[in-house]
Chains A and B, each alone.
With several copies, the nearest count.
Chain A
Amino acid sequence: MIDKRVASLAEAVAGIPDGATVLVGGFGASGVPVELVHALLDQGTTDLTVVTNNAGSGETDVAALLRERRVRKIVCSYPRSTGSVWFEERWRAGEVELELVPQGTLSERMRAAAAGLGGFFTPTGADTRLAEGKEVRVIDGRRHVLEEPLPGDVALVKAARADRWGNLVYRTAARNFGPTMAAAAALTVVQVDEFVELGELDPEVVVTPGIFVDRVVRVGAA
């Protein structure tokens, strides 16, 4: 019997160790697994490498992790945005390491990890400082950079609905990094708005099959 549903946010993030690489879904405020990130914060986990597109804003989610000095390194494409004060503060103080990755390379590197690939050549970033130190090769007349897979120990993802097998569907543009991150981590933890019965999700419409998912929690759960 497969049942990936857990009863609480605390249970959802239980066992995530200090030092983990955590993939955090979301683009701006869309699709961010806010409650899961706060559960991780409440648990006290620290020394994290956080992979996420933006570096948080205001006092919530990734910004709160930064404020509480739980983040050793952040891997992202666009850390500087309106309200990214805690990232900027920690970065200026040299308290957080930044690995800046072009957005498409960020998601493709996670996909490579998900797909068991050893890396890929991409034209993105060639001839720029983000290729510094990387292998460059001319392929079909164009310069390409060799990029490495980027796996997570953990992925924290927000979806709309899940069944007990962990099949997921998302809502509008909140899908963003969720499907890729869910597939790229050793432990994938998902928060959803709603649980549905097995078989209720149309098999043509499942976006993330449960094979990628380990734990699902309904937000609002105790």
Chain B
Amino acid sequence: MSLEGRLDMRAVARRVARDIPDGSYVNLGIGLPTLVADCVGSDKEIVYHSENGILGMGPAPAPGAEDPELINAGKQPVTLLPGGAFFHHTDAFLMMRGGHVDLTVLGAFQVSEAGDLANWATDDASHPPAVGGAMDLAVGARRVLVMTSHTTKAGEPKLVPRCSYPLTAAGVVDRVYTDLAVLDVTTEGFLVREMVAGLDPDDLQGATAARLTFAADLAVLDPS
């Protein structure tokens, strides 16, 4: 099995960024998904939402210019763009749960072929659980994109028939971007839309626990 064409996650972020329509209201999950903001072209105007009561988040402040109270969901200092607004937590989650956020990009431990998402708990009993806003985002965003490595570091598939990890939400994922492929969640399970150059469909299936189908117009995943 050759998975030589694996992308780095920055390339995956670039691919995700291309799918974000101009004018979208977007919430990026903590961790890897925050890479996406740096990859969105300057030709698009995107309004970033943060669960702690911000719309219109801008890039990180210059060193020394940080405001310790103006942080994003990952507790990193951010800035506010002209047109931005502050509001309270309950309104921030009204936006998320109520379908006002056009799309979210989330990380995942597992995604099932039914679009179930597991991204908050691994059942490691030595650590207390923590959920944050993951469940609200997963049920509420109009479009849920997942960005993840195709397999774990140990080589375990993350795209599975059924999640073995605790669910974040059931049947919510629309599309998955991995370091090997772009896959839509359909009523027939994962449909591969794009694969990295040189990858054999059998090898992708070999790295995936769920059964894959391949789009008639299967394309090469452009990492640029």
Contact = CB atoms under 8 A, between A and B. Distances in A.
B128 A122 contact: no
A130 B139 CA distance: 14
Nearest to B170: A127
Nearest to A204: B86
B43 to A, nearest CB: 9
B96 to A, nearest CB: 6
Given A1-B23, A28-B75, A173 B70 contact: yes
B37 interface: no
Interface string B47-71: 1011111111000000000011111
Q: Among A108, A176, A199, A207, which residue has the most Cβ atoms of chain B within 10 A?
A: A176
Contact of A116 (B45, B69, B97, B166): B97
Contacts of A174: 69
B100 A210 contact: no
A101 B89 CA distance: 14
Contact of B90 (A79, A108, A201): A108
A128 B54 CA distance: 28
A87 B128 contact: yes
Nearest to B22: A1
A130 B120 CA distance: 11
A134 interface: no
Contacts, number: 204
A8 interface: no
B97 A123 contact: yes
A152 interface: no
Contacts of B52: 27-28, 30, 173, 176
Contacts of B131: 77-78, 100-103, 130
Interface stretch (B1-9, B77-85, B205-213): B77-85
Interface in B103-161: 116, 126-136, 139-140
Nearest to B118: A128
B53 A173 contact: yes
Given A30-B68, A105-B136, A206-B85, A114 B94 contact: yes
B189 interface: no
Nearest to B120: A128
B17 interface: no
A161 interface: no
Contacts of B80: 172, 203
B178 interface: no
B56 to A, nearest CB: 7
B107 to A, nearest CB: 15
A199 to B, nearest CB: 3
Contacts of B70: 30, 172-173
B98 interface: yes
Given A80-B130, A81-B130, A124 B89 contact: no
Given A2-B22, A53-B89, A92-B126, 4 more contacts: A122-B97, A128-B135, A183-B94, A203-B80
Interface of A: 1-2, 27-31, 53, 77-82, 87-88, 91-92, 98, 100-105, 107-108, 110-111, 113-117, 122-130, 143, 163-165, 167, 170-180, 183, 198-199, 201, 203-204, 206-207, 209-212
Interface of B: 22-23, 25, 45, 47, 49-56, 67-71, 75, 80, 82-90, 93-101, 116, 126-136, 139-140, 166-170
21 contacts: A1-B23, A27-B71, A98-B129, A100-B130, A102-B134, A103-B93, A103-B131, A108-B93, A115-B98, A116-B97, A127-B169, A130-B135, A163-B83, A171-B69, A172-B69, A199-B83, A203-B56, A206-B85, A209-B55, A209-B87, A210-B83
The 3 closest A-B CB pairs, nearest first, are A199-B82, A104-B93, A104-B136
